[in-house]
Amino acid sequence: MILKAEPDKALRFLEDNFELFRTLYRLQLEHSIIGRDLFEEATEEKADVIVKRMLDYKLVVSQPNGFRINEPVRGFLAFLLNEFKPLLPEELTKYRQAFLELFKRIQAFRDDDILILAERLDAFYQELQEFLENVESNTSQLLRNSQYLKANKGEIPYSERVRRARHLIEYYIEPLNRILDVQKKQSITNLLNQVSAYVNVERFNHPHTGIRQRFERLHELLREAEARILRQSHVVTRELLPLIERLQTESEILSGWLYFLERPFLHEVPVMPARRLFTLTGSNIGVGLELFLQQFERRPADIVLKEEETAPVNTRQVYFNRRHYQQALKAAAPVGNYFEWCYEAMQAHEAMPTTERFLKIGSLLFEEADEYEAEFGEGRIQLQIESAVFDLPVMEVRRKAQETGAQKSTAL
């Protein structure tokens, strides 16, 4: 009870400071109670007298850990601002208990005081009104919460949005659906249907006029309730659930792409429709043809290589024909002066005699040491090849006799 002001004055005060009340209401909505620091922050720019009046008029009450907007005022502000915390379905199920209890008592009424029956009917009517209002504000609030999540105005990350969407579905929307679902035996709607059937009979049968009128009034509300609950149930199934589901789908798609884009070139990808050129031949023909063609791809390269080499190269110049000299030595043996023979053989066979060639020919003897034996003779011999002059010993070379093959005599 407001002791320090007339009711209309308190209402005007509320009007004058509506912005402040809105701020306080939102703080309370968020935190359940307005902490002292938050309260001071909100009222910082207000005159002290305003804070004092707020408390004097009991629009706001002080509590040990902060402030609260007085409950009737809070309800009024909630109605004005159309901002609520959605009720947990558990909070709504208390109505079922109340309905059930009242219904039982009304049915059980025999010869008691007629007044208590009238009061119970009034109470039922009152509870039902409250229930309907709560359900309606609840669905509208849930719808708003879902839309807020959907539009992502708060720029909440995907995983968080999915979590919140799941939370809404699991704890609010699906239980609410169960309460409203007339098919479920435990639902409030189902109970109200039973009440409706009873009330429909009693509004004609009851002997007392006043009670009949009350039954009649309740009957009307129940009929209206049916339509209103059906509407809310539709909002839940047609709008809320799809909205939340779509939100969940969208977030799932986005987080899926983000996972993919973390390693876009390593992640597996979906199978695509592939183009096939239409052929009348078997499936192996392509591979076979490719193999067949590959051999031609290589051949021209080979030919070019050979042509380039044959033209300028003189094989006699390039290749040391070891076999030729071996045979010549074999035919010439025994040779009186080995190095002179080498010189002559080289001059006869090589187009361009060089020291390198001469040394190669000269070394033949040592490679064939098994077959030949050599003996140093008297004197030396000078040979000039290119610019070098070789001073060489005279050496007689002859083929080894087979029986004396084990004995080797090597020179140098």
Partner 1 sequence: MNTDTTAERRITFPEGHQDVVEALLVDGRFLLEGDPAFMTLKQHVDFYQAFFRESFGLSLEYHSEYAFLQSGRDSDPLSRDVCIFLGILCYELDREGYNLLEQLSFHTLEFEQVEQMFEMSSFREVLDATTNLQDAQARRNFYNRLHRRRIIERLDDQIFRFTPAHKYFLEFARSVARYNQRLVEEEE
User: Which stretches of the chain bind partner 1, using CB under 8 A?
Assistant: 150-152, 246, 249-250, 252-261, 264-265, 267-278
Nearer to partner 1, 149 or 335 (CB): 149
Q: What are the structure tokens assigned to 368, written together?
A: 């064939």
CB of 98 to partner 1, least distance (A): 41
Quote the least distance from Cβ 150 to partner 1, whole Å: 8
3-class DSSP state of 201: helix
Hey, is 389 helix, strand or coil?
A: strand
| Nearest in space to 347 (alpha carbons), one of 394, 384, 390 | 384
The smaller minimum CB distance to partner 1, of residues 204 and 257, is found at: 257
| Residue labelled with tokens 């187009």 | 351
Nearest distance from residue 165's CB to partner 1, in Å? 14
Cβ proximity to partner 1: between 69 and 243 the closer is 243
Closest approach of partner 1 to the CB of residue 269, in Å: 4
Query: Taking Cα atoms as reference points, which of 66, 55, 47, 62 lies closest to residue 2?
Result: 55
| CB nearer to partner 1: pick between 183 and 281 | 281
Write b or e for each residue in 105-127: b if 16 or more Cβ atoms lie within 10 A of its Cβ, otherwise e: ebeebeeeeeeebeebbeebbee
Amino acid in position 345? A
Strand, helix or coil for residue 310: helix
Between 167 and 246, CB nearer to partner 1: 246
- Residue (263 or 299) nearer to partner 1, CB: 263
What is the C-alpha to C-alpha distance for residues 343 and 390, in angstroms, rounded to an integer? 11
Distances (CA, A) of 187 to 91, 106, 117, 225: 14, 20, 25, 14
Which two tokens mark 259?
A: 């996972």
Question: In this structure, which amino acid lies at residue 347?
Answer: Q
**90 versus 262: smaller Cβ distance to partner 1:** 262
Shortest CB 86 distance to partner 1, Å? 23
- Smallest distance from the beta carbon of 253 to partner 1, in angstroms? 5
Nearest distance from C-beta of residue 246 to partner 1, angstroms: 6
**Helical segments of 32-88, H only:** 36-43, 48-56, 71-81
Q: Are strands 66-69 and 60-63 parallel, antiparallel or unpaired?
A: antiparallel
Q: How many Å apart are CA 345 and CA 244, to the nearest integer? A: 104
Least distance in Å: CB of 161 to partner 1? 11
Per DSSP (E only), the strands in 257-371 are none
The distance of closest approach from Cβ of residue 30 to partner 1 in the complex, given in angstroms and rounded to an integer, is: 25
CA-closest candidate to residue 229, choices 146, 134, 100, 145 = 134
Angle at which helices 114-151 and 241-262 pack, to 10 degrees?
Answer: 30
Q: Smaller CB distance to partner 1: residue 259 or 366?
A: 259
Instruction: Tell me whether residue 126 or residue 249 sits nearer to partner 1 (CB atom).
Output: 249
Rounded to an integer, what distance in angstroms lies between the CA atom of residue 349 and that of residue 166? Answer: 99
